[in-house]
Amino acid sequence: MDDTKNTADDTTGTLDEALERLHSSGPERHGWLSNHGPMAVEALVRHGQAPAVHRWLDHYSHKLEDMPDPADRVTAENWREALGDPRRIADWTAYFERETAERPWRDVLAEWWPRLLPGIAAGATHPVIRVGHSVRTLLSGEATAPRVAELAHGLGYWAARHQPLPALAPLAPARSAAAALDAVPPVPVQSGGIRERLAQLTALPVWPGEVTGDADEARARLTELVRAATHRFATHGHGEPIMLVHAATAPNAVLRTLPALPRTLWAPSVAAAWAASAAVTAAYAPAEPAAYPAADASAEELFARAAAHGDDHTIKFTDTALDVGDATALAAALRSIELNPPAL
């Protein structure tokens, strides 16, 4: 995976300025749709598009809503009853702002990651993706106040929307991540919102089998899954080009977070990432693959094209495709640019 560029290269302060602009807004709009601003601006800055960030935010700002009013303070004593209550988004955000102000952000993340991981499907996987972008920033650059606050917002969103998947029966084991994704059975009725679709899940293929707890093995399996899901978008993204990007970006968020976690948490992180990727695949994948063209540009040119295109999902998926970095991944990025309507 390409890790040659990072937010530490941003000496302009653009990322922090953008995050400060965004933190007066809530993580959702219209009661359910996610605020993609923090994730998109992090990807833009990371890939050398900092000069475009404020213009992009100007266009995106009409989609933002104010942070909801607080309801009841979340504490160390009552957090279990508040978990998964979207009415408590502001309360959860304030809780994590307090926690990250009082303790190192890695300690807060390590404590809450195993609590939140079973609800990885929360908010159509957007909260874990937001956390992944935030952690990548914190690992690769200075832990400034806006960047730590962004982690608090991501964790708060995840806690408020925490949504475990239904109990799932194991299907036949798959030999690889690609084969496992191919074997995922679609939900019976592929219509309606993601919550209605995920409620229909009953079984998933067994993959990757038992991860022994070896951290290198866990990283390798997650890397394989991100690559397979990214490649699969090239052939199956036409089924639902907005939603299917999450089959790749959600496990990649987990992969990006691993270095900040105790290694004892890596193996369960693989299992959760697989469940999230497979669930999105079951909810939206089309019955048949489609042909796709080879990428006609370099990785840098493709990301510049995604930035000019302006769609938030396209920007985030292209960011993940560049992490994978091979020819099929770049073709998948081109496919997302072609399939999703431009926003600019």
User: pLDDT tens-digit profile of 186-221?
Assistant: 999 999 999 999 999 999 999 998 887 788 999 999
| pLDDT score of 7 more than 90 | no
Joined together, the tokens standing for residue 144 give 């400034």
Banded model confidence at residue 5, pLDDT cuts 50, 70, 90: very low
Q: How confident is the model at residue 11 (pLDDT cuts 50, 70, 90)?
A: low
Percent of the chain predicted with pLDDT > 90: 93
Amino acid at 142: E
Statement: residue 302 has pLDDT above 90: yes
Task: Measure the CA angle with vertex 175, ends 170 and 176; round to 5°.
Answer: 100
Q: Is pLDDT of 6 > 50?
A: no
Over the stretch 279-293, which tens digit does the pLDDT of each residue have? Answer: 999 999 999 999 999
Q: How far apart are CA 256 and CA 162, in angstroms?
A: 20
Q: Is there a contact between 54 and 342 (Cβ–Cβ < 8 Å)?
A: no
Q: What is the pLDDT of residues 138-169, one digit of tens each?
A: 999 999 999 999 999 999 999 999 999 999 99
Residue 114 has pLDDT above 90, yes or no: yes
Mean pLDDT of the chain: 95
**301 vs 316: CA distance, rounded Å:** 15
pLDDT of residue 83: 98
In this predicted model, which residue has the larger pLDDT, 278 or 1? 278
Query: pTM of the full predicted structure?
Result: 0.96
pLDDT tens digits for 62-77?
999 999 999 999 999 9
Q: Are 163 and 124 in contact (CB under 8 A)?
A: no
